[in-house]
Amino acid sequence: MSSGRVPRHARVRLIAAVATVCALSAAPLAPRAAAADTPPYSETYRPQFHFTPDKNWMNDPNGLVHYKGEYHLFFQYNPNGNTWGDMSWGHAVSTDLVHWKQLPLALSYDDKEMVFSGSAVVDWHNTSGFGTPTNPPMVAIYTSYLKNTGRQAQSLAYSTDRGRTWTKYQGNPVLDIGSTDFRDPKVQWYAPTKSWLMTVSLSAEHKVRFYSSRNLKDWTPLSEFGPAGATGGVWECPDLFPLAVDGDKKNIKWVLVVNINPGGITGGSGAQYFVGDFDGKRFTAQDQGTYTPPAGTVVQNFESDGYGTWTTTGTAFGEGPAAGALAGQGAVDGFEGKGLANSFHAGDGTTGTLTSPEFTVDRPYLNFKVGGGRHPHEAGTVLERGAAPDGTVLADFEGGTYGAWTTTGDAFGTAPATGTLPNQQQVTGWLGDGLVDTYLNGDSTTGTLTSPEFTIDKDYIDFLIGGGNHPVGRANPTAVELLVDGKVVRSATGQDDEALNWASWDVRDLAGKKAQIKIVDDNTGGWGHLNVDRITLSDTRAQPVSRETSVNLVVDGQVVRSATGSDSETLDWASFDMRPWAGKKARIQIVDMNTGGWGHILADQFTAADAPAKSAVQRADWADYGKDYYAAVSWENTPGDKRYMIGWMNDWEYGGAIPTSPWRSAQSVPREMALRTVDGRIRLTSEPVSSLASLRQGDASSAADVTVTNGSRPLIGPAAEGKALDIEATFSLRDAERFGLKVRTGAGQETVIGYDTTTQELYVDRTRSGAVDFSSAFPGVQRAPLQAKDGKVKLRVLVDWSSVEVFGGSGEAVITDQIFPDPAAQGVQVFAENGSVNLERARVRHLGSYRY
């Protein structure tokens, strides 16, 4: 995001996206930090050749410009802590885009504004008047987040000493349209009109707007672009630049990069792009044509009056298909024919399921259309709440008192609540007659409630929790904390929902320890309260009730595939890969277990087919297909007119929870961008900057003509193992279904970088990559379309202490993922599954640190 976001609706969406059933941390909350005397930049997960600040929170790259031999990297930065807040511009410089030196804070927040994302230019002709013709100023154009109004406007700051010190313009803001979603200006000199061109985001409208100025102070609107492509989240951090197609300077196309969150190719943050033409006023994207899904056999199209042999539970789906929108619902579109499944009957407050008869899986794919709420299926949840787990009840809040528990503040009152409090939405899901409810006198009250000390003598601590989603680690939490030796080792928060649900901490590693439970309400804003009940030491893990709005494929009673909506009443195509269950019995189950906002699901046109349908998100173009490449923007004024781009190597789904300290977040390796014709289409490609070679240490380790069949083996040997590597590999296809490399192997961990010949996809599987349990959104497999060329697949893999960046083919398929492996996991292997592959050649180089 442009700033990490302020406490408003987008911020709430961000936090909700991170939440599981109760946004609980199943692993110790404290990051795995190095010992106090560990030298800086040698901490467990500290990147060695990716820029990180010495300490504190960082997100978007800003102000990328080259001036007097230096590449400037400004970045969103919190000078006061390791979580998002007090947004300012940090600053680093490099002479080669590889070796970085951090400088003092450039632009600071103050009592009136936070300094959100933007860009910087060299005002060569002193059009702004901030410098002189002989000493042209550097001018930063940034978004002011105005604290008193919540509005976002564009402002200026300038420097006349190579960016070392900055002065904010007294006439700020220079562009204010009265919006709370108007941000991230990218400014450049547009030579044909001898004027400045601004590309800026109207984020909630899924648009960018272009402005022109002669002096950087007075701006005239030119045109708008969008909505287009992926629109499942806010549009942020736009960029616009020209590139020659296939190196032909007579064939110039323009690239418009629009970062989106959520709704990227992996569901969270992502960097999409459009290729087209720009005439000085208007950007026109190339026509992608209309989309026709693969043909197949229709299983269910909801064209009958009833559901036929499909069965319902609950009331959400009514007696039969809907003909479109239901009472109180916005316009519904994108469905086929006259009917669809729509669980908005009587609004979002109803729940239920719609289930198909059992059928035999006899086609490779099940394609369908889906819309409605974005509430994914969570593994381990159940559709109906069972009995409370047996065990030692630490507190059930019955009897009208808190017993030996102690309170501070005024949020908890003198006794437990007996239900919903005045002016509160209805509270549900607690047991018995009493519960903790800190909505006493509204969200403005704060306080703590702390248990007596107890001994952990069972495997789990189970409890019911609801209320606000303000996790520990962020400002002003609403959370249940487990304290051991006075330190928080587990925590959980609500999900912005008054319905209490089960949460569970696995505490087997803490057996025999003395502990306390502390319930914290430190929040006075929206959803600034917490509901808690029935805290139990148990040998049984409590199973939370599902809150999903999803379409599921159920095999042997287990959900094996799932899709959800994108908080939209427009249905779009989705697809289940059914091949692993060929010949098995299966059911389709459409589930609405959510009673909050967007608590409904839409579905239509279930079709068995031989090829997968693609959603608008999948049909969009992406600069990177990984989870951790966002806010991607490029440098201006570079030598030789090269186009270098960098992205924030994190994701808003879990960005504040990654286990790093005393810093949080890294930037990607800078990449040289190009437009190439790939498979008949013009694609934006990228490769690591060539100067990365300056970090190579020692001689390369090589391998050639290695055949692997149905297994794994060391790629080369101990000389090619390590935590910071540059690997190049070329594979010749044989009959293996999947093949590739495994990196950071050891200690029961591995990060798999593979190629799937059946889907023609590059993929990264980080489900066993090390620490993955700090967020349910973190583990998983990321995929990028990649066709083999002349029967070969080429990979370049950059492995750092806490990341992998994978470049496939000519750089048209790129996947960037964070990983948090054990330091001892340093192995590199080559593998093949269901057949053989030939590793034609491979070369591994060790990389050193970027620090000056």
**Residues acting as catalytic residues:** 60
User: Which residues are CB-contacts of 328 (< 8 A; sequence separation ≥ 6)?
Assistant: 344, 347
Q: Rounded to an integer, what distance in angstroms lies between the CA atom of residue 600 and that of residue 598? A: 6
Provide the b/e sequence for 78-111 (b: ≥16 CB within 10 Å). bbebbbbbbbbbbbbbbeebbbbebeeebbbbee
User: Which residues are CB-contacts of 457 (< 8 A; sequence separation ≥ 6)?
Assistant: 392, 511, 512, 537
Instruction: Check if the beta carbon of residue 216 is closer than 8 Å to that of residue 611.
Output: no
Instruction: Check if the beta carbon of residue 795 is closer than 8 Å to that of residue 740.
Output: yes
739 DSSP β-pair partners: 755, 832
**Interior angle at CA 153, CA 148 and CA 155, nearest 5:** 110
Instruction: Check if the beta carbon of residue 503 is closer than 8 Å to that of residue 494.
Output: no
Write out the H or E segment, with its range, that includes residue 66: strand 56-67
Residues comprising the chain, all counted: 852
Provide the b/e sequence for 179-192 (b: ≥16 CB within 10 Å). ebbbbbbbbbbbee
- Enter the DSSP assignment of 676: E
Nearest to 370 by CA among 62, 137, 618: 618
DSSP assignment of 605-647, as one string? EEEEESS----HHHHSEES--SSS-EEEEE-BS-GGG--EEEE
Q: Rounded to an integer, what distance in angstroms lies between the CA atom of residue 729 and that of residue 272? A: 27
Q: How many CB atoms lie within 10 A of CB 462?
A: 25
Q: Rounded to an integer, what distance in angstroms lies between the CA atom of residue 527 and that of residue 497? A: 8
- The amino acid occupying position 761 is E
Q: In degrees rounded to 5, what are phi and psi of residue 240? A: -140, 130
Q: Rounded to an integer, what distance in angstroms lies between the CA atom of residue 194 and that of residue 254? A: 18
711 DSSP β-pair partners: 832
Q: Rounded to an integer, what distance in angstroms lies between the CA atom of residue 202 and that of residue 554? A: 41
Q: Rounded to an integer, what distance in angstroms lies between the CA atom of residue 480 and that of residue 489? A: 11
SS3 529: coil
Q: How many CB atoms lie within 10 A of CB 398?
A: 16
For 435, the token pair is 């519960």
**Interior angle at CA 843, CA 840 and CA 844, nearest 5:** 145
- Enter the DSSP assignment of 378: -
Alpha helices in 490-620 (DSSP H): 616-619
* Long-range pairs, 321-325, Cβ under 8 A, ≥24: 325/569
236 DSSP β-pair partners: 259
Instruction: Check if the beta carbon of residue 852 is closer than 8 Å to that of residue 685.
Output: no
Q: Rounded to an integer, what distance in angstroms lies between the CA atom of residue 236 and that of residue 684? A: 19
Tell me the CA distances in angstroms from 114 to 3, 9, 88, 143, one per residue in order.
9, 18, 6, 8
Instruction: Check if the beta carbon of residue 78 is closer than 8 Å to that of residue 96.
Output: no
SS3 191: helix
Whether a cis peptide bond, with omega within 30° of 0, leads into 227 is: yes
For 664, the token pair is 């949080």
